[in-house]
């Protein structure tokens, strides 16, 4: 919804032919510029405060200028006005769309976020015995791809992630789970190989293990990523709020595991910074057939945190926390599977339709590209290549220049030295892709 309305614009503009049209265009542009983007309707629509109260069991509300605290006997949720960042029982959780409104009559939340909260994050009932799951551990990077690096103390992300996998695997086995690894030594694997392995070994879960890096050397803390649902961009600063990207049909399950990991970390480490359960369309999360999370254990760009991460006791303690989170997940997953079966099937159909459409478009672009490489009989202003082929999106599906994403078919341009790795930036290529997706999205 926009704060400009057509009728109002027409009455305030000069009546002369020509001016009105130009003024109208200007009005729309101004409207887009000044309208808060978060005022847009989220995909799936809004739920009112009354809906939320019923589904979350809210019995107490504190309405403040910049935030709202909702409580019941066992739960506390604090939302921030116009912010995706929320706090659920002491754990930071990033919403897919910012809630808005400051009174019970005006407050509202995206239906999709209410679904995640009420079905995946808040339910506390658990089975006595954890479900027997096959967990695929994915130590990030490897071989020539060293990942993030701390110089002092010296620690490479590829070695850290492998060490974490080697500590976590036996703990999971001890807890009764079956464990596989995407790599057990210092080899390079493509992201598509990692994602494909989940299907090959018939994994029930994929856990990708990473360390963070930022240009700001003061950045510290842990965060866990899951893929955004279709129709939503990531939660990182700078993500386009109205982007349309394909998700997968494990959103609820991945959310359950992601929250379990953050919850375990928060419960045991009050001295560390909780950066939250976040969402990003990383390749291994998006293209894996089973529920998947990506854990950023800490920042190698902060020498203090890197020093802690190097310690065996630190690594062992954090591996145990992740193993405990998997156990918690395994005790809740059957109830969740039952509760979201219909929604999951709807997600599957929607995603398949979207991917089929995008594959069709990519094939058409490839064909057009092949034609365009033939010698042109007539020179044109664009050097013989039709202008529309010069669109800045690559042909491979969903690539970006993010560290956790599959490289594009063509070598990407050199990366600026100061690029922040992975967490809080929206790469330019993703931005351009999103523009493309938006044009292709019939719902926009
Ligand atoms: Zn990494």
Structure tokens at 295: 């854990």
* Cα 296 to ligand 1 centre (Å): 8
The pLDDT value given to residue 108? 95
Alpha carbons within 13 A on the beta-carbon side of 17: 0
**263 Cα distance to chain centroid:** 18
At 235, the pLDDT band (50, 70, 90 cuts) reads confident
19-70 per-position pLDDT tens digit: 333 444 444 444 444 444 445 788 889 999 999 999 999 999 999 888 999 9
Residue with tokens 């799951």: 133
Look at residue 186 and tell me whether its pLDDT is greater than 90: yes
Please say whether the structural domain 48-121 has been given the CATH code 3.30.457.10: yes
* Cα 143 to ligand 1 centre (Å): 13
Look at residue 130 and tell me whether its pLDDT is greater than 50: yes
* Cα 241 to ligand 1 centre (Å): 25
Comparing 55 with 230, the larger pLDDT belongs to 55
Buried b (16+ CB within 10 A) or exposed e, 230-251: bbbbbbbeebbbbbbbbbbbbb
**280 Cα distance to chain centroid:** 2
43 conformational bin, left if phi > 0, alpha if psi -120 to 50, beta if neither:
beta
355-399 per-position pLDDT tens digit: 888 888 889 888 887 655 554 443 333 333 322 322 222 223 333
∠ CA 24-29-11 to the nearest 5 degrees? 30
What does the mean pLDDT of the chain come to? 79
Look at residue 442 and tell me whether its pLDDT is greater than 90: no
**Helical residues (DSSP H) of 88-231, grouped into ranges:** 111-115, 157-174, 191-200
Q: Domain 134-342 class?
A: alpha beta
The pLDDT value given to residue 245? 66
Domain ranges of the chain: 48-121, 134-342
With a CB cutoff of 8 Å and minimum separation 6, the contacts of 146 are: 156, 157, 158
State the sign of the Cα–Cα–Cα–Cα dihedral 174, 176, 178, 183: negative
Mean pLDDT (whole number) for 412-421:
37
Q: Could you tell me which of 47, 44, 32, 25 has the C-alpha nearest to residue 1?
A: 32
The pLDDT value given to residue 371? 59
Residue 392 and residue 270 in contact, taking contact as beta carbons nearer than 8 Å: no
* Cα 321 to ligand 1 centre (Å): 20
* Cα 210 to ligand 1 centre (Å): 4
Q: Distance between CA 118 and CA 335 in Å, rounded?
A: 13
The pLDDT value given to residue 19? 32
* Cα 421 to ligand 1 centre (Å): 8
Q: Distance between CA 222 and CA 296 in Å, rounded?
A: 6
Length of the chain: 444
**314 Cα distance to chain centroid:** 27
* Cα 255 to ligand 1 centre (Å): 20
* Cα 420 to ligand 1 centre (Å): 12
What is the end-to-end Cα distance of the chain in Å, rounded? 12
Q: Could you tell me which of 305, 29, 31, 266 has the C-alpha nearest to residue 153?
A: 305
* Cα 202 to ligand 1 centre (Å): 24
Beta bridge partners of 208: 138, 294
The pLDDT value given to residue 373? 52
Structure tokens at 86: 């929320």
Q: Residue 338: exposed, middle, or buried by beta-carbon count in 10 A (0-12, 13-18, 19+)?
A: exposed
Look at residue 437 and tell me whether its pLDDT is greater than 50: no
257-283 per-position pLDDT tens digit: 999 999 999 999 778 999 999 999 899
* Cα 294 to ligand 1 centre (Å): 9
Beta bridge partners of 155: 150
Residue 426 and residue 239 in contact, taking contact as beta carbons nearer than 8 Å: yes
pTM: 0.77
* Cα 403 to ligand 1 centre (Å): 6
**5 Cα distance to chain centroid:** 33
Q: Could you tell me which of 354, 344, 348 has the C-alpha nearest to residue 245?
A: 354
Could you give the 3-state DSSP secondary structure of residue 93?
A: strand
For residue 13, report the phi and psi dihedrals to the nearest 5 degrees: -100, 155
Q: Could you tell me which of 148, 161, 163 has the C-alpha nearest to residue 213?
A: 148
The pLDDT value given to residue 247? 80
Structure tokens at 59: 């019995």
């Amino acid at each position: 919804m926009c704060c400009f309305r057509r009728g109002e614009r027409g009455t305030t503009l000069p009546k002369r032919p020509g001016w009105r049209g130009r003024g109208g265009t200007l009005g729309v542009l101004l409207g887009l510029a000044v309208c808060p983007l978060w005022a847009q309707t989220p995909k799936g629509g809004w739920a009112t405060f009354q809906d939320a109260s019923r589904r979350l069991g809210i019995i107490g509300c504190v309405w403040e200028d910049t935030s709202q605290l909702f409580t019941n006997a066992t739960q506390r949720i604090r939302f921030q006005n116009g912010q995706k960042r929320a706090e659920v029982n002491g754990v930071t959780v990033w919403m897919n769309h910012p809630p808005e409104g400051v009174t019970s009559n005006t407050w509202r939340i995206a239906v999709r976020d209410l679904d995640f909260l009420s079905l995946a994050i808040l339910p506390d009932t658990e089975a006595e015995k954890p479900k027997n799951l096959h967990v695929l551990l994915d130590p990030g990077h490897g071989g020539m791809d060293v990942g993030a690096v701390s110089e002092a103390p010296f620690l490479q992300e590829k070695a850290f992630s492998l060490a974490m996998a080697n500590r976590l695997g036996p703990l999971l086995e001890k807890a009764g789970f079956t464990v596989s690894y995407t790599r057990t030594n210092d080899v390079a694997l493509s992201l598509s190989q990692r994602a494909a392995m989940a299907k090959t070994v018939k994994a029930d879960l994929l856990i990708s293990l990473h360390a963070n890096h930022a240009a700001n050397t003061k950045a510290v803390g842990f965060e866990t990523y899951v893929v955004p649902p279709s129709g939503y961009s990531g939660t990182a600063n700078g993500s386009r709020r109205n982007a349309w990207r394909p998700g997968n049909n494990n959103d609820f399950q991945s959310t359950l595991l992601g929250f379990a990991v953050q919850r375990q970390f928060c419960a045991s480490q009050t001295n560390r910074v909780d950066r939250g359960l976040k969402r990003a369309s990383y390749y291994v999360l998006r293209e894996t057939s089973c529920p998947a999370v990506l854990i950023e254990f800490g920042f190698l760009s902060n020498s203090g945190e890197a020093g802690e991460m190097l310690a065996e006791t630190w690594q062992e303690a954090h591996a145990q926390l992740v193993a405990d989170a998997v156990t918690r997940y395994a005790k809740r997953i059957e109830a969740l599977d039952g509760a979201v079966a219909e929604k999951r099937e709807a997600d599957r159909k929607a995603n398949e339709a979207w991917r089929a459409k995008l594959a069709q478009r990519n094939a058409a672009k490839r064909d057009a590209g092949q034609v365009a490489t033939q010698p042109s009989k007539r020179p044109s202003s664009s050097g013989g290549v039709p202008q529309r082929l010069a669109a800045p999106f690559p042909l491979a599906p969903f690539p970006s220049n993010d560290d956790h994403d599959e490289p594009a078919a063509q070598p990407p341009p050199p990366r600026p030295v100061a690029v922040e790795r992975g967490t809080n930036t929206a790469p330019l290529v993703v931005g351009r892709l999103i523009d493309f997706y938006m044009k292709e999205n019939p719902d926009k």
